[in-house]
Structure 1
Amino acid sequence: MTSSSPRVARDHKRIAVDLDVIVNGVLNHVDGRITDLSEGGARIDGASLPARSRCEIHYGGQTIYAVVMWSEFDRMGVRFPYELSHGPLHAALEYARGAVPTAPAQIFRAMRPVGFGRRGLS
């Protein structure tokens, strides 16, 4: 019988982005694309390094250190030992947060006439 630990809620909300990056491992560097980003980590498509390895992510002249948490054939998830708080990658995250669609506004609900249909027929 196996037991699995309960999942812990993430500290930061993940935001969908589309950012081209270069990932430096110990022996090589590969091009990748960040598709999911938060202050604490990222999902990188097109690049794959072994789990628990360390790497550098280069974006916009900035170098971000990361640890690979999981890895598949063509993508991986990384955790940043130091949370993003400044620099081009953080700016891209903040820009993407501002571009996230929100729920439709409900300002016209109070202005609707009471009745049947759009014209308020009774």
Structure 2
Amino acid sequence: MTNFRSPTARSHNRTPVTIEVMINGVLNFVDGRIVDLSEAGARIDGASMPARSRCEIHYAGEVTYAVVMWSEFDRMGVRFPYELTHGALYNALRSARRVKPADIPPAFLSQRTTVFGRRGLS
């Protein structure tokens, strides 16, 4: 029996991040923010370029090449022609994956411990 994967299945886990970058298109530089990153691609908010166009992502003095897969008014999804295996973006991805869910405080008041005041005096 052959193990069939759909063409849209992702082989890499996406990781939520907040990375300020500069995108170089054919004619202009645009500021953007990577909010979703994997070894194969990223979602960039605040920047938009035509689908199927090529661009450069500038971060920490390094350049990562990408192809725009989809685009909306203020965000786009890009695919890296070469998988991230080293460099500044890869290091940022590894750092984001090291953060454990236990390190993040609970979002809902019902999940927080009972304390007095902003400083947590009890």
The TM-score, its normalising length taken from structure 1, stands at 0.77
How many residues get paired?
A: 97
3-state SS in 2 of match to 1:50: coil
What are structure 2's unaligned runs of at least 5 residues? 1-5, 103-122
Larger radius of gyration: 1
Residue in 1 that maps onto 2:16: 16
- Give per-residue Cα distances to partners, 1:51-86, cap 9 Å, x unaligned: 000000000111000000000000000000000000
Separation (CA, whole Å) in 1 of partners of 2:69 and 2:90: 20
Residue in 1 that maps onto 2:45: 45
Q: CA RMSD in A?
A: 1.2
What are structure 1's unaligned runs of at least 5 residues? 1-5, 103-122
Could you list the structure 1 runs, at least 4 aligned residues long, displaced by more than 2 angstroms after superposition. Answer: none
3-state SS in 1 of match to 2:101: coil
3-state SS in 2 of match to 1:86: coil
Separation (CA, whole Å) in 1 of partners of 2:75 and 2:28: 16
Residue in 1 that maps onto 2:91: 91
- Measure how far apart 1:8 and its partner are: 2.7
The TM-score, its normalising length taken from structure 2, stands at 0.77
- Measure how far apart 1:100 and its partner are: 4.0
